Structure 1
Amino acid sequence: MSSAVSPAPPTARPAVRRTSQLLVLVVVLVLAFAASLAFGSRWLGPGALWHSLVANNGSDADVIVRSLRFPRTVVAALIGLCLGIAGALMQGHTRNALAEPGIFGVSSGAAFAVVLGLQLGLVDSVSSTVWVALVGALIATFTVQQLAARGTGATPVGLALTGAAVAALLGALTSSIVLLDADTLDSYRFWAVGSVSGRGLDVAGQVLPFAVLGLLLAAINARDLDMLALGDDVAAGLGLSVRRARLVGLGAIGLLTAAGVAACGPIGFLGLLSGHVARRIFGARNTWLIPAAGVIGATALVLADLVGRLVGGAGEVQAGVVLGIVGAPLFVIVVRRRAVAL
């Protein structure tokens, strides 16, 4: 009798490979998180960093890590996770690898709400900005969903067109307000650039319930999205409620993007980059692609914030600016080489 071990089933090999790839991405995120704590205007060695985390005695290093670097790094990782997953979901539901969450009008809704809150005197702190932006983002998401459902049944094209129309309208209203009110413009421009500067754990706590609910909906929607990739008719034939799957996906995108925009402002490009890179590594299987996009998004925002602090000299370059300057040209090169079709 042969004692040779039978080979693993062919279906197990891709799963092992993808698990290994996802673990590598997690390790990179952990290293990026550690680098964000260690580097800045003052470098902290491993000993000082460890002491600051486990044995706080009020030293300068402890204050730097616990009061400044750790909170903003946590916020960057959380918001990057949300926007990365929202980007992957958006690309899956629109069947367009170059789509991004802003096309649903979520960012525009948050921006309009913040501007309106500034003009009415409702926004006077980071905390109040978070809540006002969340309300605006969720209202915009609900509006897009209702308009698309009544017109085209919330199809990919219908959602994209409705979202673009709502985003254009809200963008025009926002511009009209800030151009007519210099004080509102001055306050709004710091939020609109996209930044984790000045964001503490209290901000993370305020958006965390929305982020958790969005992540749960995304997990539920991942398997349905694999079926939707076969086409709405085929998915319906397999027993999937296409309308329910679209609504769950739109809810997840709205909640995740709303949490990100509310906490850090409209950080563009991150969802687009994360979803696309994850798809290049893991293929079209959403049960792997979606968590990978979240990890990639978290890593990208943490590193963007770190780079902004290192190159800013006495000040700092905001994370949204870093992502635009560094990421956009790189993404264009990748798209041209891969010949991605719109």
Structure 2
Amino acid sequence: MKVALIPQRLEQRTLLALLLTALVAVSVVSLLVGAGTVSPSQAFSMLLGSEDSEAHFVVWELRAPRTLIGIAVGMALGVSGALLQAVARNPLAEPGLLGVSAGAAFAVALALVLGASAATLRISVAQLGALVGCLCVLGVARWRGVDNDPIRLVLAGAAFSALLGAMTSMMLLFDQRSADEVRFWVIGSLAGRRLEDLWAVLPSMAFCTVLIALIARPLSALALGERMASGLGHHPQLIRALVVLCVALLVGAATAIAGPIIFVGLVVPFIARAFAGPDIRRTLWFCLPIGPLIILTADIISRVVVAPSELPLGVLTALCGAPVLIAAVRARRLPML
């Protein structure tokens, strides 16, 4: 049996290498393509050494930051979706559907209305809001036994998200001064983001990377059941708490710098499991390139589909992710993870 696993692992490594190569290619395309007046040929010439000042500004000051931020956001949302699905043992668990993104978005909107402008403060508030949202939905689910039913868990998260969305709208009615800024941010987009925002979230993302490396094996054991995990020397409640903390930090950071972007945390693990199988450790490895690939591809499409304007990234991911959710719900047998 061990011999049979060797070709499978080699095949997975080849797929992972191909995905990383595709990510590099899409990142280059992201630098070349945009809704502005700088053409791909001008941008490519500038990368080769041409001294076009306009192209230099557009590529390095506008497109490069949003490309790097897109990579970070894709990784954060993809990994957090896989972690949330693993700990909830639910293939429909997704930060945007379970109120985690809504909690972060509401917290940031509240901070903006109250006058917060520092990026670090906005990120901390978003992570706190994501943590509260995640705990609320998962707590209600376990209290009512909803976590055993994927559909009801999504409905509970949708109700919580709708409640927070309504409260955000009420805040905007009472504070027209902040309405434009909040509306620009709450739709989800990479346009106009700065590298300073990315540097501000890197410490928390690095902390989550270390934490995920420590809990990946115990989380894989937890998939066998709490008794089995306990028998192997792990602590299921501690594992769940650390996973929720990681999800809150990652989703809060992604939401703070790019706004709420839904369905990425659903689609990325779905594709990753098709490549990696049920092992959460391999799934997480595949989420790392697949998340940025989806985000950057959607961002490139959003720049050109209605040029010279741009389509909000959050709208495009919702249009692409909704059919995946419908297909999963309509499946003859929805598996528990």
Question: By the TM > 0.5 criterion, same fold?
Answer: yes
- In structure 2, the residue matched to 1:43 is 39
Deviation at 1:55, TM superposition (A): 4.4
1:78 aligns with 2:68: no
- How many Å separate the matches in 2 of 1:8 and 1:139? 45
Shift of 1:175: 3.3
Identity of aligned pairs, percent?
Answer: 34
CA displacement 1:252-274 (0-9 Å, x = unmatched): 11111111001100101111110
Is 1:239 matched with 2:239? no
User: In structure 1, how many angstroms separate the alpha carbons of the residues matched to 2:304 and 2:161?
Assistant: 34
In structure 2, distance between residues paired with 1:101 and 1:281? 22
Task: Tell me if the contact between 1:227 and 1:235 (Cα under 8 Å) persists in the aligned partners.
Answer: yes
Say how many residue pairs are matched: 327
2:176 and 2:209 map into 1 onto residues whose CA distance is 38
Long gaps (5+) in structure 1: 1-6
SS at match of 1:101: coil
Q: Which amino acid aligns with 2:127?
A: A
C-alpha distance 238-189 of structure 1, shift in aligned 2 (>3 A): same
- In structure 2, the partner of 1:295 is 289
> Partner amino acid for 2:40?
L
The answer to whether 1:138 aligns with 2:128 is: yes
Q: Is the counterpart of residue 157 in structure 1 residue 126 in structure 2?
A: no
1:193-232 paired onto structure 2 within 5 Å = 193-232=187-226
Q: Secondary structure at the match of 1:10?
A: helix
**Aligned-pair RMSD on alpha carbons?**
3.2
1:266 aligns to what SS in structure 2? coil
The 3 A distance-change label for structure 1 pair 91 and 144 is closer
Q: Which segment drifts farther, 200-209 or 265-274? A: 200-209
Given the alignment, which residue of 246, 251, 256 partners 1:252? 246
Residues 223 and 338 of structure 1, relative CA distance in 2, 3 Å threshold: farther
Q: What residue number does 1:180 align with?
A: 174
**Structure 1: how far apart are the matches of 2:332 and 2:60?**
43
Point out where structure 2 has 5 or more consecutive residues left out of the alignment.
none
Question: Which of 69, 88, 104 is matched with 1:94 structurally?
Answer: 88
Aligned to 2:302: 308
1:29–1:299 Cα contact (<8 Å) kept: yes
Q: Secondary structure at the match of 2:40?
A: coil
CA contact (8 A) 1:82 1:215 kept: no
Which of the pair has more CA radius of gyration? 1
Q: Aligned partners of 1:130, 1:191: CA distance in 2, in Å?
A: 16
Aligned partners of 1:87 and 1:99 also within 8 Å? yes
Q: Identify which range, 178-187 or 87-96, moves more after superposition.
A: 178-187
| TM-score, normalised via structure 1 length | 0.84
- Work out the CA distance in 1 between the residues paired with 2:288 and 2:262: 15
State the partner residue of 2:112.
118
Deviation at 1:205, TM superposition (A): 0.8
Alignment partners' CA distance in 2, 1:143 and 1:97: 19
Shift of 1:224: 1.6
Query: Is the contact made by 2:105 and 2:129 (CA closer than 8 Å) also made in structure 1?
Result: no
C-alpha separation in 1, matches of 2:103 and 2:199: 22
Contact 1:105 1:141 in 2 (8 A): no
Pair 339,30 (structure 1): closer, same or farther in 2 beyond 3 Å: farther
